[in-house]
Amino acid sequence: MAVTAEAVKALRERTGAGMMECKKALVETNGDLEAAAEIMRKSGLAKADKKAGRVAAEGVVFVEHSADGKRAAIVEVNSETDFVAREKDFQGFAADVARAALTAQPADLDALLATKLASGKTVEETRRELIARIGENIGVRRFEVIKSDAPLSTYSHGTRIGVIVALHGGDDALGRDLAMHIAAINPMYLSADDVPADQVAKEKEIFVAQVAQDPKTAGKPAEIVARMVDGKIRKFLGEITLLGQPFVKDDKQAVGDVLKKANARVARFVRFEVGAGIEKKQENFAEEVAAAVRGS
C-alpha cells in the first residue's frame, strides 16, 4: 500500500512528530495509521512530543569555525535544566549541530533540523532520540552562519555566551578583545544608524516627559530643554551601540575610537546567550517537594 501525503499529514497532526518519522512509521505498517501511531509511541517519539510544550530555557551556545577562520557558525540548543545542559551527550549533540550548520549552511531552522549528522540521522531525529533517552524537552532554538573575506573573531564564555565578530583591519588581539567586550557588555546594535527610528522616538518622548516633570528643569527655555533631551538621547545610543560603548579594557575611550585608531571597522557581530528572551517559569523548590509529598 502506497503511503500518501494525506496519511503523513494526518499522522503528523496526531503525534506532532516530524514528517520523516511519520513517513517511516507508515511505510513500516503498510499505511495503517493506528499501527503507525503505536510504533511511534513505543519508539519514544510520542514521549518527545509530550515534552514539547515544556519550557527549555537552559542549555548551551556553541561556536564552530572553518579551518581558514573565514566562516563561523553559532547555535543555541536548549534543555529544561542546567543539569542536563552539562550532560556529555547533550553537549555532544549541540557540538554536532554547530558543525552541521557550519558545513551545510542551511537557509533556516527547518533546513538545519533536516540536515544529516555524521551518524546518518538528521538533527531532528537525533534530537527526538535524545529527548527519549534523557527525559527532558530539548530544542534547537536558533543559529547563524557568518562569512567574511577576513578571518572572523570568536569568543565563548563557557557554554553560556558565544560571539562572532567580522572585523576588517586591526589584528587578532583586537578581534578577540572586541568579542570579549560584546560578550560582557551586550550591545544591542552596531551603531546609532542601526537603531530603529521608532525606538529613538519613544525614548525621546520619555526623556521630554522626565525633563518637564523635574523641578530642577521645569520652566527652562525650550532650547535648553531640547539640548538636555539631545544629550540624554546621545547617552542612550552610546549605551546600546557597540561603537558608542566605553571599551571594556579602557573605559576612557569608546569602541568606535579604538577602531578608528587601529584603522579597523566591524562589519557585523552576533551574540547568543543561553535563554535570552525566553520567559522562564519560576520554580519554588519547597512548594514542589511539598506537593510531591501530598501527592504520595
- Full pLDDT tens readout for the chain, 296 residues: 678 888 887 777 666 666 777 888 888 888 888 888 777 666 655 555 555 556 557 999 999 999 999 999 999 999 998 999 999 999 999 999 999 999 999 999 999 999 999 999 999 999 999 988 888 889 999 999 999 999 999 999 999 999 999 999 999 999 999 999 999 999 999 999 999 999 999 999 888 888 877 777 777 787 888 888 899 999 999 999 999 999 999 999 999 999 999 999 999 999 999 988 776 655 554 555 555 555 54
Question: Containing domain of residue 231, as a range?
Answer: 192-264
Angle formed at CA 236 by CA 61 and CA 209, multiple of 5 degrees: 130
- Alpha-carbon gap, residue 254 to 242, rounded angstroms: 9
When divided into structural domains, the chain yields a total of 3
Please indicate, yes or no, if residue 294 is contained in any of the structural domains.
Answer: no
Give yes or no: residues 183 and 83 share one domain: yes
- pLDDT of 285 reads 47
Give yes or no: residues 113 and 44 share one domain: no
Which one, of 60, 257, 259, lies nearest residue 153 by Cα?
259
- Alpha-carbon gap, residue 283 to 288, rounded angstroms: 8
Half-sphere exposure of 296 (CA within 13 A, CB side): 6
Please indicate, yes or no, if residue 292 is contained in any of the structural domains.
Answer: no
DSSP code of 93?
H
Strands 250-254 and 246-247, by their bridges, are antiparallel
In the numeric block, the cell 520554580 is attached to 283
